[in-house]
Chain A
């Protein structure tokens, strides 16, 4: 049978252990040189060793496979029978739309096209579409079938009433000053203002008009303004923030989401946020946070540690305080009007039948702050904030408004139309743009907006533009037969300018104060090169 050389037997004797390994290697090497064939015993050992290596490689394979698990766990879109027909066609017609849906949490639960777009008999915006009766617009009322809590909160918020700006000054701007509306003989509107359609109403929300058979009036749709008035009467548009069809929470929590509307010269919340420490912190950690921002709740101190976004403070769950879609629920000041007031009855947020007081709202906001800030920090900050708003109100807001109202009421300027007199633009800028920038800057800790984009420009407007223009109006009034009214206004103006806050302007700064100012200036110039002596 086998031709086993005697020396192989010797190789495995225990006495010659030392030489064994070297002899093993030698024998393997020899067999390659072709001089001595490998003995059978050696081959068996080689097989055992190679099997070991093979086994190790397989274990590595199994280990790699084990590490791959989580890649496979992404849930798929569940396509139910009634939605399949929609998907099959829209997959090729609007593939991006279908892909968005497949990324959404809705699709993982089998909630698809028809679940949301289905229309009931009698819906004025319902239409027949390939065997289904559907509506294009999915209104908050439709969403409320499942998301009723959010719907209730949202509907009672100021967001929902954003579309009812008809009659506001902004509305006049869009429709008369910038744009153009056409009316028929009976005064019915036949054509709206494109400035409103493409501008204001895109954020505020249009009143959607149905032309029949589900077709929507192009002047009013497409529109996802947050206060959109829908054909079914409900107010708002959920997809203003929760973009369709992903409806991603992470996307909705991004500051740029709110920044679509809450930005710009008249209310630069997004820019202020980005200037603020909150915004800087978020930007620095953004990529790391992204994965968790899709969670049901994104709580400071739980899901992330610094850098809250808009939704964190104004909406999100913090500790025992539930999340809310009423974005005004934690805001104590109303910074919108010419003269700021604490939020009161017309804000809409109610606890039962009672309006939620500004104190309670502030307490709720403080709960959020407490996630990261100590009580003294919070209290002191609110004092700073209140003081600033008080300053704006007292120094510029109220005085300018009083004067402005006086000249309008006394017809020193045309009062049936606005914006035809220069001072009307000036005044508008003062409270609507610069004044708001200052106030918002203070509210969200954006010092540059508070100061240079804000109060500096407010004061420049007041002293360089508003007061001089007012003087012109008074002069004109005096020379056009309205001396009494003009004199009244003048008296009021002087009263204001002589008050402690404004008297510096008319050279009536007290001597002591003048001296200490001069001393401070000289000291400053000592430190730095003298500029103005």
Chain B
């Protein structure tokens, strides 16, 4: 089917360019089509409007107390307010223990998250400090929080 010697003999300088343009053209056009198809298959994950979800009011969330909320996708988080000088910082950590998925509980008195299933313990930054999650170097997933006036929003995108 493909005789290298014959081919070498028959190709001239112009023939070389002909081949290049032909192959290049095919490559460029079908390649572009392939790129468009890839874009089609991978929908944009970054929405241009930030999607936020109302969680609570700063007036309702005193330092130390918490509000738990669930995103429309079904992930649940705990929102706590923490004193940061004169300000209050709001952080939301996932309820779900990264070890095997049990629900962690925020223990205000001990300033820690505790997972009752296998005694995993996380500090107030969500980093595991004891138990199986600590051994695996895991941490609690965080949810981005935005505060506007008195309203606390969870950022979904």
Interface residues of A (CB under 8 A from B): 1-2, 4, 9, 12, 41, 44-45, 47-52, 54-55, 58-59, 61-62, 65, 69, 72-76, 78-81, 108-111, 115, 145-146, 148
Contacts and interface: CB of A to CB of B under 8 A. Distances in A.
Interface of B: 3, 6-7, 10, 12, 14-15, 18-19, 21-22, 24-26, 28-30, 32-33, 36, 44, 47-49, 51-54, 57, 59, 69-72, 149-151, 153-154, 156
Given A54-B29, A146-B150, A41 B18 contact: yes
Among A47, A50, A59, A74, find the residue whose CB has the most chain B CB atoms closer than 10 A.
Answer: A47
B25 A75 contact: no
Contact of B10 (A2, A72, A108): A2
Contacts of A47: 22, 25-26
Nearest to B59: A145
Contacts of B15: 41
Nearest to A49: B25
A80 B72 contact: yes
A78 B21 CA distance: 52
Contacts of A110: 52-54, 72, 153-154
A523 to B, nearest CB: 67
Contacts of A59: 32
Among A4, A74, A81, find the residue whose CB has the most chain B CB atoms closer than 10 A.
Answer: A81
Contacts of B71: 80
Nearest to B60: A145
Nearest to B19: A44
Contacts of A50: 25
A336 to B, nearest CB: 35
Given A41-B15, A59-B32, A1 B3 contact: yes
Contact of A109 (B30, B59, B153): B153
A44 B22 contact: yes
A48 B51 contact: no
Given A1-B6, A52-B25, A73 B48 contact: yes
Nearest to A51: B25
Contacts of A65: 36
B26 A51 contact: yes
Contacts of B12: 9
9 contacts: A1-B10, A41-B15, A45-B18, A55-B28, A58-B32, A75-B51, A78-B52, A81-B70, A108-B51
Contacts of B149: 146
